[in-house]
Amino acid sequence: MPLHQRGYADSVALLLQKATNDSVKSKLNTLLVFCWMNTDKARAAQYLMEARRLAKNYPLMWAQTFAHEGYLYFNEDVPRSEACYMKVDSLLRNDTSKNAYLLRSNAWQNYAVQQQGKDDDATFIDLILNKAIPLAVLSGDSSLLGSEYTNVAIAFTNTEQYEKAEQYFSHAIAILKPAAKEPSRLLVALYRAGENYINLGKYVAARDILDTMKILLAPYPETGLYTGYYMVEGLYNHKMKAYAAALVSFDKGIAASSGINAASRVDELEMMKAETLLEMKNYTAARDLLLRLIADESLTSLDYNRVKVLKGLTSAYVGLGNFPQAYHYLETYSRLSDSLYKTRTQRDINALEIKFRNAENKQEITALKAKNEKAALSTKNAWLITGLVASAFMLLLVLGIGALSYYRNQKKLAARKMQEIVQQKELDVTKAMLEGEEGERRRLARDLHDGLGGMLAGVKMNLSGTASVLQDEKLFQIIGQLDSSVSELRRIARNMMPESLLNFGLETALKDMCELNMAPGLSIDFQSLGVQHDLPEKTQILIYRIAQELLANAIKHAGADKIMLQCSQNQHIFYLSVEDNGRGFNPATTKKGMGLDNIRNRIDFLKGKIEIDSVVSEGTTINIELNVNE
């Protein structure tokens, strides 16, 4: 949805008045659903029904109306919204168009977010990785794919895997920066990445995120995405101990909040406000805010939010010196944090309460029997009660810490499991990409060699016959140029899919590649030892591509006159090394390019590792170990 919403709605309405085709009218009506859904749901519903009426003869448009219905009732009627998203997937399951993949990916993404809203992070990440992302790849929509990677990153942030989240945020932002015509999705990725940087303690990076967002938001003063900017700004100010400025930022974010997720963003900002008020020791304001938050059922329906509010209330009441209330909220917090220890915690609390009451009863009986010792006994029992309450509070605090430790361990186990799912999915995606790339290389090489190459060879033969008859020097020159073109075309075809690799194996193909790339002033030494000839063809192709990319980098960038390519094999471990005497570089400061990314993808697929040893003006050595057992 464009950030200039008012002007956009007017433009769409004007186009709708002029439209005559039903499919165009349906599309424009669905766009108006988005324009009005946050401010006038009844009006948005009218546009939706009109869009559906007009779309009855257009299957894709028909499915799109259900996607918009799911979004319209996203918060108000979750079961209805979920049913609409599943309807979209069902209607378009056999449609292989890019628009169909795009709609299905969006539907699964929104459905996954609803499962996350039910505190089901495992289902959320599973649906994003196994449903939404593969469909986004098929759709070819970079903006949507970047948004999906943002969701994965947010899931890692929620499970406190901030380093892993940083990788996915970087990937998402790299995709979204050039792809997004409207910066909405990029801004979401940026502000969530900024929040993650603050969790990592990378405050300079967070400040850079704020600067970037400020530039992107400047043309859109009315957008609700300012909420994200002020959230990151508030967190940054909080970490810099500028607490008053942090509160101002959070309040600005609350005021700017709008859209379908406005309520959840406001809740998030108010919890951050409460943490800042506690740091300022303004316990009364913190308590009042947290009591209001704990009464919000939509907020506390998530265990993660409820635990944070209960923990904050415990700290607020301790700060106010109200230990009975602190005790009450600590008890609730402990019970929620560790369900496995619930029974034991309750038993300990009940035992403490019985002790407390018995002590009071004993005090009363003693006071009745010995009135002359009333003052002394009252003082003694007061100290006893105080000590008992303090002991109970300390015991509960220890139990709470233990419960929190268990809770965190469980989160770590869940996070580890989720990471394994992600890694397997990344492997599947890499495999599909590499197989698709090699398939396309084979097709292009065949078309170039057999198709275009054959045509050019035929043209050459015809020209040669004509030139022999006419004895035209110009024709002989053209034939020479054509002959060079045919040779170059065949060289390109060999590079795309070398016949020597398919016919004679990896070792021969690597040797041929080195010989073909030698030129005046450049010698390439190839050495091999123990390379097995029964390696799977896919594995041989992957190793060949890695060597091809390394050799191309050495020739193109190193400025070397001597290059050595070595390969060897020891059982299931394959070793590949490229060494040159070129200009070298600093691996720590040199940015990764597409070539190195391609190399790393193939190395990761073969569960290998890479070491780069390079010094400026002293050459480069790259050593790779690959697992070729599978």
Partnered with residue 580 across adjacent β-strands are: 563, 620
CB burial of residue 546 (10 Å; 0-12, 13-18, 19+):
buried
What average pLDDT does this structure show over 438-467? 61
User: Which are the contacts of 611, defined by CB distance < 8 A and separation ≥ 6?
Assistant: 622, 623, 624
Which three-class secondary structure state does DSSP give residue 567? strand
* pTM beyond 0.75: no
Instruction: Give yes or no for residue 604 having a pLDDT over 90.
Output: no
d(CA 553, CA 563): 11
What average pLDDT does this structure show over 352-364? 41
Q: In this structure, are residues 238 and 201 in contact, taking their beta carbons and an 8 Å threshold?
A: no
d(CA 421, CA 433): 18
Q: Give the number of other CB atoms < 10 A from CB of residue 563.
A: 25
Q: Give the number of other CB atoms < 10 A from CB of residue 443.
A: 12
Residue bearing the bigger pLDDT, 428 or 186: 186
d(CA 267, CA 269): 5
Could you report the per-residue pLDDT of 490-504, keeping only the tens digit for each? Answer: 666 555 667 777 778
Q: In this structure, are residues 283 and 319 in contact, taking their beta carbons and an 8 Å threshold?
A: yes
The reported pLDDT for the residue numbered 434 is 57
d(CA 212, CA 190): 8
Instruction: Give yes or no for residue 270 having a pLDDT over 60.
Output: yes
CB burial of residue 221 (10 Å; 0-12, 13-18, 19+):
exposed
Per DSSP, the chain holds a count of helices (H) and strands (E) of 27, 5
Residue 597 tokens read as 């990314």
d(CA 577, CA 295): 64
Q: DSSP of 575-602, one letter per residue?
A: EEEEEE-S----TTTSPP-HHHHHHHHH
Dihedrals phi, psi of 618, to nearest 5 degrees: -125, 10
Among the residues of 257-322, which ranges form H helices?
262-279, 283-294, 297-300, 303-320
Could you report the per-residue pLDDT of 549-566, keeping only the tens digit for each? Answer: 888 888 888 888 899 999
Q: Give the number of other CB atoms < 10 A from CB of residue 522.
A: 14
Could you report the per-residue pLDDT of 97-148, keeping only the tens digit for each? Answer: 999 999 999 899 889 888 877 767 778 878 888 888 889 889 888 888 888 8
Reported as half-sphere exposure (CB side, CA atoms, 13 A), residue 628 has a value of 26
Residue 507 tokens read as 């070792």
Could you report the per-residue pLDDT of 42-92, keeping only the tens digit for each? Answer: 888 888 898 898 888 888 889 988 988 888 888 788 899 999 999 999 999
d(CA 33, CA 52): 12
Long-range contacts of 381-384 (CB under 8 A, 24+ apart): 384/359
